[in-house]
């Protein structure tokens, strides 16, 4: 297939310049809408405006640019329509590069402003190109540009499966865009309306297996998402459980403190977490919090991995290391662990564009809830008992609540001097979680006296506070809200423990 003319109309121009240069190098004429044309010309790439085809200016403040017979004739013309195009003096477009107005931020706008974020021309262009896939190649995602450029250079654009894949992706992107608008419109109805969970997803990553080796598994993402939120730098293929742990680590990473911080997770639960003066020290302190449970864990670091951190990692067995970056010296050291997976976080751009929500399968359907975002800031807590603690104790309490948020309920976390020294997770009784946290701290010779405690939910009885007081815990932070809050407050006052209520629960069921 000869590529002679390309039509480009983009809101998101990420990755466009290498693609446009590949087109120009192969003698393809570029036609573009005004904004895209100005962008290309500013980069020294020659192109023609869409008005050179339509002979008509854009109207209504830019609402109508491409809705013209010359444009859609060039996209919808079949192979046998060459004579008709020639008589009309319309160019045939062989490739369309297009994406839509960003609608993701329009939900909070009033109706009029939201309407201006609804793309009409771009969606129509993509539908036309996808309908005429035998003659036109629609590129609707930046992730498609590299493969197209390679195929253009090697002359492999006639591959039927490739064309079908482009068409299917184009229809999927259009469908998701329309569904986003539909969902936003439903949200605005003041009368009773059906609630829909609507999303077009595609397989983004095949996985080794599911929770068990006999179960198959894949990772799906919205069809218009741009890439994965991480890059796998080395190691074995990820499994279903690995990806659940990675998700848990990523969400924990959003709540990590500003200091160098490390968390080690097992079965989506933190088993160690700590701050440090350096990322290597944070890793060491997190590991020493519960070295037995850390075996085979997932390591999350909020700073780039350097040489000293990499050396400490290689002395122990882990499944995955997640960090914003791995420097060259650390990569060289970690290469010896062939099976160890290194994941470089990528949480910018459109990789996590869609509004966050938690989705679980249940009873043949789905349970959906908004994501549990953020934590209550210490300045908003209410002190219910005890004296005002030092800044260091408040910092420990804040860290403890951030960790507790990511521990399965019932969750109890003990922290001392920026290090989690005991974590009780997933017990049917909260006081049992208290006992487990205390036992873990004692097992690894941590000093409990002067430590602080965070609970993800309220204490239903005073017994947990009494247990904590006997071990020397100096301060507690919890949501409050129990019918027996008065008993809990009285126990804290009696034990001279500083007790804070956050007013915000963080159950992980």
- Catalytically annotated residues: 131, 267
Q: How far is CA 74 from CA 84, 152, 213, in A?
A: 10, 20, 51
Contact 126, 138 (CB under 8 A): yes
CA 138, CA 157: separation in Å to the nearest integer? 12
Could you give the count of Cα atoms lying within 13 Å of 151 in the half-sphere of its Cβ?
A: 17
Three-state SS for 402?
helix
Give the residue among 374, 423, 468 at the shortest CA–CA distance from 263: 423
CA 354, CA 360: separation in Å to the nearest integer? 17
Residue linked to tokens 């904590």: 468
Q: Each residue of 113-137: b (16+ CB within 10 Å) or e?
A: ebeebbbebbbbbbbbbbbbbebbb
Q: How far is CA 43 from CA 38, 96, 99, in A?
A: 9, 20, 20
Contact 385, 394 (CB under 8 A): no
Length of the chain: 509
CA 77, CA 87: separation in Å to the nearest integer? 13
- Helix, strand, coil percentages for the chain (3-state, nearest 5): 40, 20, 40
Q: How far is CA 344 from the centre of its chain?
A: 13
Q: Is the dihedral of CA 219, 221, 225, 229 positive or negative?
A: negative
Identify the helix (H) or strand (E) that includes residue 223.
none
Residue linked to tokens 């809408």: 33
CA 113, CA 72: separation in Å to the nearest integer? 28
Q: CA dihedral in degrees (276, 280, 285, 288; nearest 10)?
A: 180
């Amino acid at each position: 297939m000869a590529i002679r003319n390309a039509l480009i109309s983009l809101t998101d121009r990420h990755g466009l310049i290498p693609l446009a240069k590949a087109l120009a190098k192969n003698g393809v004429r570029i036609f573009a809408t005004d904004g895209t044309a100005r962008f290309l010309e500013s980069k020294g790439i020659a192109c023609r405006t869409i008005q050179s085809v339509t002979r008509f200016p854009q109207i209504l403040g830019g609402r109508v640019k491409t809705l013209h017979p010359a444009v859609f004739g060039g996209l919808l013309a079949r192979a046998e329509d060459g004579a008709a195009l020639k008589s009309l003096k319309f160019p045939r477009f062989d490739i369309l590069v297009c994406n839509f107005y960003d609608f993701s931020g329009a939900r909070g706008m009033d109706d009029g402003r939201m309407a201006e974020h609804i793309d009409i021309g771009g969606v129509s262009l993509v539908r036309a190109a996808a309908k005429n896939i035998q003659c036109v190649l629609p590129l609707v995602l930046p992730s498609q540009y590299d493969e197209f450029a390679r195929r253009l250079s090697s002359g492999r654009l006639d591959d039927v499966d490739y064309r079908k894949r482009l068409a299917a992706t184009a229809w999927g992107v259009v469908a998701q865009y329309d569904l986003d608008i539909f969902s936003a419109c439903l949200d605005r109805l003041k009368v009773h309306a059906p609630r829909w969970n609507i999303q077009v997803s595609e397989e983004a990553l095949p996985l080794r297996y599911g929770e068990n080796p006999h179960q198959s598994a894949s990772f799906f993402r919205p069809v218009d998402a741009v890439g994965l939120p991480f890059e796998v730098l080395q190691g074995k293929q990820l499994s279903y459980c690995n990806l659940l742990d990675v998700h848990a680590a990523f969400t924990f990473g959003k709540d990590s403190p500003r200091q160098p911080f490390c968390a080690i997770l097992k079965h989506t639960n933190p088993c160690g977490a700590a701050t440090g003066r350096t990322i290597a020290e944070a890793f060491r302190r997190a590991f020493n919090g519960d070295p037995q449970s850390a075996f085979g864990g997932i390591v999350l670091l909020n700073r780039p991995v350097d040489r000293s951190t990499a050396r400490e990692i290689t002395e122990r067995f882990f499944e995955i290391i997640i960090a914003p970056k791995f420097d060259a010296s650390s990569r060289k050291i970690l290469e010896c662990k062939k099976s160890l997976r290194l994941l470089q976080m990528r949480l910018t751009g459109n990789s996590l564009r869609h509004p966050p929500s938690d989705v679980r399968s249940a009873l043949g359907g789905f349970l959906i809830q908004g994501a549990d975002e953020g934590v209550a800031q210490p300045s908003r807590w209410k002190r219910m008992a005890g004296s005002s603690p030092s800044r260091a104790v408040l910092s420990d309490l804040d860290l403890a609540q951030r960790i507790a948020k990511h521990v399965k309920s019932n969750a109890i976390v003990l922290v001392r001097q920026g290090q989690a020294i005991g974590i009780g997770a997933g017990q049917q009784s909260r006081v049992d979680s208290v006992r487990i946290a205390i036992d873990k701290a004692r097992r690894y010779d941590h000093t409990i006296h002067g430590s602080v405690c965070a609970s993800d939910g309220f204490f239903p009885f005073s017994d947990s506070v009494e247990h904590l007081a006997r071990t020397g815990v100096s301060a507690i932070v919890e949501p409050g809200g129990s019918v027996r809050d008065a008993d809990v407050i009285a126990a804290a006052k009696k034990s001279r423990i500083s007790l804070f209520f956050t007013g915000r629960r963080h159950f992980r069921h």
